[in-house]
Amino acid sequence: MTPRYHPCRRCGTPRLATAAVVAAATLLVGSASPSSAELIQLQVIHRHGARTPLNKDAGLSVAGFEGGAQLLGEGVEQLELLGKTVRNVYLLDTQSAIVGETFKDGAVLAGATGAYKRPTDFRAVSSALDRTLASSRAFVAGLYPADETRVPTYMFHNDPDDYLLRGHALCPSHAAKVRSWYGSDEFRDEEERSAALRTKWAALAGVEDDSLANWFNVYDRVFLHQYGLKKSSGLPTQVPSNEFEAIQRLASWLESNKYGPVNDGHLVASALLGEVLERANAADAAAPSLSRPDDESDAAAVAATVSDGDAGVAQDNDLPRVHRLIEYSAHYPTLLGLLTALGIPLSEVEPDGALPNFGAALLLELHRSPNERTTLAARWYGGGVRTPRPGLTYDHFLTNVSNAALCGDGAPRDGRCPLTEVAGRTAARVASSAAEWCAACGNTDESPLCFAAARGVASSADRADRGGGGDDDDGGGGGLARGVVAVVAFVGGVVVALAAVMAVTWLRGRRVRQSWAAGAAPMGAAGAAKEGEGGVGCRMGGGLGGGGGGAGGAAVGVVAPRSFRGDVPVAL
């Protein structure tokens, strides 16, 4: 395995950034087939940039949350470079000046202008950790250099509930599979073969646990040290290349199996795949409008995907779920799990079987032809690559994922895969709701959201999952909110009715008292007055029943909401 490193201090220079774009453009131009299909959507799922060392829990439990690691300056440069590459390849038709010809087959995103003008242009979603949030901001800085301060990044959920991008830390069923695999003959054989390597380098890296299950923590420190990102005092200045390759190879074998088919690795990204396909279907429905970059068309695109009830595409804070470009700032297990869910082997994107590097990304393109045939294509971005020896050429930045990998055995390698085929082929590996994901993962109490789902009160949380913490849903508490409004409105209506009756009673009594004070009420009149009071009392009783019902009916539709908005002053 050839040692490779993605983040570097010099990779953000204009010369290298241009070289990256040239490589990417050359690959895409060479691979595109002539067609009139439009590229209507791009979804970018990437690993965060280079960061400080972290300690991972070998059992993948919630207690083993990855924490404390911070994004490094090199990681910021890495994600900026990814953002610049996506901007130049997909948002701007600048490649003709570099490679001598324009992109073919709708490689530039339809309706994109290179500027962030409206929510339908772009959506950034990140896990709740510092390194992914900072990586997303760096990506946005490269993607929209003039508008970066205007573009928000959304957390899907707080960490204990982030099953979309951190499912690898929240899935007990998957963790149990991995623990069982630790006892397999395959694992024990590798444990025996690698014993000497592990004992030596764990001691040099200052890691007490040299078990194979814990190997990532040793590999991580050696990797960061080898490329000058975070030096470890016990390690040699330069790790011998043959041993460094062995260290990387062992880590790749371990992690790719943990999140591969053998251990149902699709579980950790089944919700993410569901999200990706849902967004693709929404863009497909809105395609005629999304291809035109104006506000009126964008409004039509949103309207095209919204229907009555829960079957429609959820909305939150008036932000549409239809976007031309979506970024997911995540982790390498997220990418490995998504590849497994899509049925794409790691060797398809990393020929040497290496783990996804810092800043690596899977790019999913949605194309639509004039005959309304919607297809999916995939590219792989290796990250901002630098080898230990300065002066060597960079890896190609974008490579094609074969059509056969997306569509399965028997499909031609060239061309694209129909979206319906991708959805059909992966249907058994998709979770379409929070409740479904929680059930598949056996998560009943480790996540507050799953705790609620297991007890049958997940309707609001289940809807919140499709946008999570502001990410394109109806607020997640729509049913509860409507119930609270109805109760408050009814109570408000009753109070208003009581106030009205009390006011009538006081006025009637005042008139009687005034007539008594004036001596104008003979005994018969006084008796009539008392009967009148009784009449008022009877009318009060009848009015409260009927009027109260009327007030209750009006409160839900008119009185209470308007009063709460302050449109109608109500003295209570």
Q: How confident is the model at residue 483 (pLDDT cuts 50, 70, 90)?
A: very low
What pLDDT does residue 107 have?
A: 72
Nearest to 286 by CA among 320, 328, 326: 320
Higher pLDDT, 182 or 297: 182
Tell me the C-alpha distance between 79 and 327, whole Å.
Answer: 12
Q: What residues form DSSP beta bridges with 378?
A: 364, 401
Q: What is the dihedral of CA 488, 490, 493, 497, to 10 degrees?
A: -130
Instruction: Please tell me the distance from the alpha carbon of residue 418 to that of residue 180, in angstroms, as a whole number.
Output: 37
CA angle 305, 311, 314 (to 5 degrees): 60
Higher per-residue pLDDT: 122 or 384: 122
SS (H, E, C) 469-525: CCCCCCCCCHHHHHHHHHHHHHHHHHHHHHHHHHHHHHHHHHHHHHHHHCCCCCHHH
Phi, psi (degrees; rounded to nearest 5) at 328: -120, 115
Greatest mean pLDDT range, 142-146, 195-199, 403-407, 445-449: 195-199
Average pLDDT over residues 257-268: 96
Instruction: Quote the CA–CA distance of 387 and 504 in Å, as a whole number.
Output: 88
Closest to 156 (Cα-Cα) out of 126, 136, 123, 120 = 126
For residue 389, the model assigns a pLDDT of: 41
Q: Which pLDDT score is estimated for 503?
A: 64
Q: Reply yes or no on whether the pLDDT at 12 is more than 50.
A: no
Record the tokens describing residue 457, joined without a space: 């009160």
Categorize the per-residue pLDDT at 485 as very low, low, confident or very high, splitting at 50, 70 and 90: very low
Higher pLDDT, 550 or 222: 222
Model pLDDT for residues 140-159, shown as the tens digit of each residue: 999 999 888 889 999 887 77
Closest C-alpha to 56, from 164, 169, 162 = 169
DSSP symbol at 286: T
Could you give the C-alpha distances from 322 to 303, 306, 564, in angstroms and in order? 10, 10, 32
Most confident of 225-234, 428-437, 521-530: 428-437
Q: Is pLDDT of 221 > 50?
A: yes
381 has pLDDT over 50: yes
pLDDT digits (tens, 9 = 90+) for 392-417: 333 446 788 887 888 877 676 666 89
pLDDT, tens digit, for every residue of 300-353? 555 554 443 333 233 333 334 689 999 999 999 999 999 999 999 999 998 788
d(CA 51, CA 181): 29
Please state, for a pLDDT cut of 70, what percent of the chain lies above it: 60
Confidence of residue 454 (pLDDT cuts 50, 70, 90): confident
Q: Is the pLDDT of residue 470 over 80?
A: no
The answer to whether 214 and 57 have CB atoms below 8 angstroms apart is no
pLDDT in tens, 23-74: 444 444 334 343 578 899 999 999 999 999 988 876 665 444 445 689 999 9
- Residue reference for tokens 């959201």: 449
What's the pTM?
A: 0.71
Nearest to 62 by CA among 154, 174, 156: 174
Q: Can you tell me the mean pLDDT for 235-255?
A: 95
CA gap 298, 120 in Å, rounded: 7
Provide the pairing of β-strand 374-381 with 417-418.
antiparallel
Tell whether the torsion through CA atoms of 235, 237, 239 and 240 is positive or negative: negative
pLDDT band at 525 (very low <50, low <70, confident <90, very high): very low
Whole-number Å distance between alpha carbons of 13 and 73:
14
pLDDT at residue 373, rounded to an integer: 87
Query: Which of 48-57, 241-250, 387-396 has the highest mean predicted lDDT (pLDDT)?
Result: 241-250
**pLDDT for res 143:** 94
Report whether 166 contacts 468 (CB < 8 A).
no
Given this model, what pLDDT does residue 461 score? 41
251 versus 10: which is more confidently predicted?
251
Q: Which of 9-23, 267-281, 309-323, 451-465 has the highest mean pLDDT?
A: 267-281
Output the pLDDT for position 60: 61
Task: Compute the residue count for the chain.
Answer: 572
Arithmetic mean of pLDDT over the chain: 72
Long-range contacts of 498-502 (CB under 8 A, 24+ apart): 498/544, 499/571, 499/572, 500/547, 501/540, 501/543, 501/544, 501/547
- Distance, in Å, from the CA atom of 324 to the CA atom of 257, rounded to the nearest integer, reads 34
